[in-house]
């Protein structure tokens, strides 16, 4: 018998008396706070945030390019409008990060 668990003697029980733990028994998790991360949260990676900001700008420019191409603008006109729109979007995202007002890009119809 081990710590009060098991048979007094294995004789006549059909077992060898070896006590095993139930490895499939799910123990409830306690609500203990991990000492290493108690109260701390990770700050987002600046490189990842910058990449996401640039990706969103590029996505808006691609949509604008498609709209301008459907409206019949030439390639040079589209390039000029995209360059202007990129400047506006980058300025808007910079002011958004600093907490200022946000600008939006509006395309003209031909």
Candidates 46, 63, 48, 75; CA nearest to 104 is 63
**Distance from C-alpha of 68 to C-alpha of 61, rounded to nearest angstrom:** 10
Q: Which pLDDT score is estimated for 29? A: 77
pLDDT over 80 (residue 54): yes
For residue range 91-103, what is the model confidence (pLDDT) as tens digits?
988 887 776 665 5
Let me know: does 64 contact 79? Beta carbons within 8 Å.
no
The domain locations on the chain are 46-97
**Confidence at 84, pLDDT banded by 50, 70, 90:** very high
Task: Name the percent of the chain lying above pLDDT 70.
Answer: 74
Sheet strands (E) in the chain = none
pLDDT over 80 (residue 90): yes
Choose the weakest-confidence range: 34-43, 59-68, 98-107: 98-107
**Better-scored residue on pLDDT, 45 or 106:** 45
């Amino acid at each position: 018998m081990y710590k009060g668990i098991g048979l007094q003697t294995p004789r006549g029980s059909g077992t060898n008396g070896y006590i095993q733990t139930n490895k499939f028994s799910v123990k409830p998790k306690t609500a203990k706070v991990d000492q290493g991360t108690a109260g701390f949260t990770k700050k987002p990676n600046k490189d990842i945030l910058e990449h996401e900001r640039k990706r969103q700008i590029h996505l808006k420019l691609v949509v604008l390019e498609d709209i301008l191409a459907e409206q019949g603008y030439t390639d040079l006109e589209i390039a000029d409008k995209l360059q202007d729109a990129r400047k506006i979007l980058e300025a808007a995202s910079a002011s958004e990060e600093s907490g200022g007002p946000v600008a939006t890009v509006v395309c003209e119809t031909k």
